[in-house]
A and B are shown apart, each in its own frame.
Chain A
Amino acid sequence: MVFTEARRYFVERRVDERMAATNAPSFAGYFALVRGNIDSEVEKLINAFTVNETYFYREDYQLACMSADLLNERLRNKAFGESLRIWSIPCSTGEEPYSIAIWLLENWPQVDEHDVEIVGSDIDTDVLEAARAGVFGKRAMTRLSPELVGKYFGPTGPDQWQILDDLRQSVRFTAANVVERTDTRPHGLFDIIFCRNLLIYFDDKSRRVAAENLYESLAPGGYICLGHSESMSRISPLFEVCRFADAIVYRRPLGVKRD
């Protein structure tokens, strides 16, 4: 990655965010964290710079949490035959919702017993077109094994692959701004929402509104997964914190509490 002088502000913002997330008292202190790669800070710093450049199986501990715990928890609250709904917002060029689909096929033994609807949404209609096309370069595929690439993708050029038609048709892409209630409400209720590395870029007001829109978009008892440096507890008291073996996620409470 190369950043010219013109992108100094972008770099400063990302470093400031990481310093805040790690409670680093000074740049020198934060730099020591990076040099020592304490708590995988190198990857976290790189992730902070790749806002629109996501990749398959990014932060896959949350995918592991989904297949190990979240889906089974949700099934306990659903009628027999009722489909499971998963929302990836923002979905960028599709790596996240397709990762969810591949992960389920590979890691969730009950995948053939239930209907799972996966929706990917983004405010940027250009990236949605790219997501629908499902063509990816080498960088996006680095965390996928050659076996998975061979199983779910077909080569379309040098260092370029397209996801198989069956998988492309299993994800629905829509335009949506998470801050606009009129955008989020028509999507209905989801069992799991992945909303990673988005809210950190909002101001306090937009974060509150987005959190309430996401709350409304979750079925009671539904889960929301945020990025590794994000905390819903600092944004809104509406959600419960749930600690699972693989990840900490947030949940819309099952019942409404009355004071």
Chain B
Amino acid sequence: MPLIRNTAAKSAPDVPSDVLTGLKSASIDERWSAARAAGAPAIPALAEALSHESDARVREAIFTAFARIGTRESALAVMQYLRADDASIRTGALDSLRSMPRAAEASMLMLLSDDDPDVRLLSCELARAMNNSEAARLLCEVLERDSEANVCAAAVDVLAEIADENALPALSRCATRFPNDPFLAFAVKIAVGRLRSVSANPRD
């Protein structure tokens, strides 16, 4: 009896050849155009192209393509650029991830536990675009355990905007963890004041 093949397995969509050749073209316009036309099957090709793309405009189109595709795979492809030496590439990656909050959210725990404090600090910014209660929960964990005052300060800044009163205990404990950091104490004081004010007057 012949076995019927799983159609999903045999028909994985191909990347259009013009996208593949376009991403490798010497012409900036062709690379830009290919990045703009690329869909989910082209994620590996986009990641490969981004790794050596020298033109800022094409990089931007690739970052937008990842955001447009918006899958966990595209978020993973972008995340590594949060540790790029070039500030414009780091910002491009951050903006791209911010534009796909649901895809990025799935990897937030990993990002907030990264060995590189700069990556953890930037990742706090991603929480602004996330669901508020989940973002508050993740950022409170940062306040409780992160060893870097700057990372905690970034989390405090976002928590002040999210204004979830459940964060108040973690904020207070964080200030006591870094007694010699006057800036963090100041940031926590501002955030606590804002959270209390919002909780007392939700429309203000």
Which chain A residues lie closer than 8 Å to B204 at the CB level? 26-28
Which of A26, A208, A209 is the most central at the interface, judged by chain B CB atoms within 10 Å of its CB? Answer: A208
A205 and B70 contact, CB distance less than 8 A: yes
Closest to A234 in B: B95
Closest to B101 in A: A204
Tell me whether chain B's interface is mostly helix, strand or loop, or mixed: helix
User: Could you tell me the distance in whole angstroms from the C-beta of A238 to the nearest C-beta in chain B?
Assistant: 6
The answer to the question of B60 belonging to the interface, with a C-beta cut-off of 8 Å to chain A, is: yes
Q: Which of A92-100, A142-150, A187-195, A251-259 contacts B (4 or more CB under 8 A)?
A: A251-259
Which chain B residues lie closer than 8 Å to A207 at the CB level? 99
User: Could you give, for residues 50-71 of chain B, a 1 whenever the CB lies within 8 Å of some chain A CB and a 0 otherwise?
Assistant: 0000111100110010011010
Which chain B residues lie closer than 8 Å to A181 at the CB level? 36-37
The answer to the question of B28 belonging to the interface, with a C-beta cut-off of 8 Å to chain A, is: yes
Complex CA distance for A213 and B95, rounded to whole angstroms: 18
The answer to the question of A236 belonging to the interface, with a C-beta cut-off of 8 Å to chain B, is: yes
Which chain B residues lie closer than 8 Å to A186 at the CB level? none
With an 8 Å Cβ cutoff, the count of chain B residues facing the other chain is 25
With an 8 Å Cβ cutoff, the count of chain A residues facing the other chain is 19
Complex CA distance for A189 and B36, rounded to whole angstroms: 17
Q: A237-B56, A237-B60, A256-B55 are in contact. Are A208 and B203 (CB under 8 A)?
A: no
User: Could you tell me the distance in whole angstroms from the C-beta of B201 to the nearest C-beta in chain A?
Assistant: 8
The answer to the question of B188 belonging to the interface, with a C-beta cut-off of 8 Å to chain A, is: no
Which chain A residues lie closer than 8 Å to B70 at the CB level? 205
The answer to the question of A212 belonging to the interface, with a C-beta cut-off of 8 Å to chain B, is: yes
Complex CA distance for A202 and B204, rounded to whole angstroms: 25
Complex CA distance for A134 and B99, rounded to whole angstroms: 39
Which of A28, A204, A258 is the most central at the interface, judged by chain B CB atoms within 10 Å of its CB? Answer: A204
> A residues 210-259 with Cβ under 8 Å of B?
212, 216, 236-238, 256-259
The answer to the question of B19 belonging to the interface, with a C-beta cut-off of 8 Å to chain A, is: no
A208 and B64 contact, CB distance less than 8 A: yes
Which chain A residues lie closer than 8 Å to B101 at the CB level? 204
Complex CA distance for A181 and B38, rounded to whole angstroms: 12
Complex CA distance for A181 and B37, rounded to whole angstroms: 9
Complex CA distance for A203 and B54, rounded to whole angstroms: 28
A212 and B56 contact, CB distance less than 8 A: no
The answer to the question of B100 belonging to the interface, with a C-beta cut-off of 8 Å to chain A, is: yes
Which chain B residues lie closer than 8 Å to A236 at the CB level? 60
Complex CA distance for A212 and B98, rounded to whole angstroms: 17
A205 and B67 contact, CB distance less than 8 A: yes
One of A27, A204, A212, A256 near B203 (C-beta < 8 A): A27
A259 and B54 contact, CB distance less than 8 A: yes
User: Could you give, for residues 192-204 of chain B, a 1 whenever the CB lies within 8 Å of some chain A CB and a 0 otherwise?
Assistant: 0000010000011
A205 and B100 contact, CB distance less than 8 A: yes
User: Could you tell me the distance in whole angstroms from the C-beta of A152 to the nearest C-beta in chain B?
Assistant: 40
Closest to A211 in B: B64
A204 and B129 contact, CB distance less than 8 A: yes
One of B28, B36, B99, B203 near A205 (C-beta < 8 A): B99
Which of B29, B64, B197 is the most central at the interface, judged by chain A CB atoms within 10 Å of its CB? Answer: B64
Q: A27-B204, A205-B70 are in contact. Are A212 and B54 (CB under 8 A)?
A: no
Which chain B residues lie closer than 8 Å to A208 at the CB level? 64, 67-68, 95, 99
One of A27, A204, A259 near B55 (C-beta < 8 A): A259
> A residues 63-113 with Cβ under 8 Å of B?
none
Closest to B63 in A: A208
Which chain A residues lie closer than 8 Å to B99 at the CB level? 203-205, 207-208
- Which positions in A face B, CB cutoff 8 Å? 26-28, 181, 203-205, 207-209, 212, 216, 236-238, 256-259
8 pairs of A and B residues whose beta carbons are closest in the complex: A204-B99, A205-B99, A208-B64, A259-B54, A26-B204, A205-B67, A27-B204, A256-B28
Instruction: List 19 interface pairs A-B (beta carbons < 8 Å), by A numbering.
Output: A26-B204, A27-B204, A181-B36, A204-B67, A204-B98, A204-B101, A204-B129, A205-B67, A205-B99, A207-B99, A208-B67, A208-B99, A209-B64, A237-B92, A238-B57, A256-B28, A257-B55, A258-B55, A259-B55
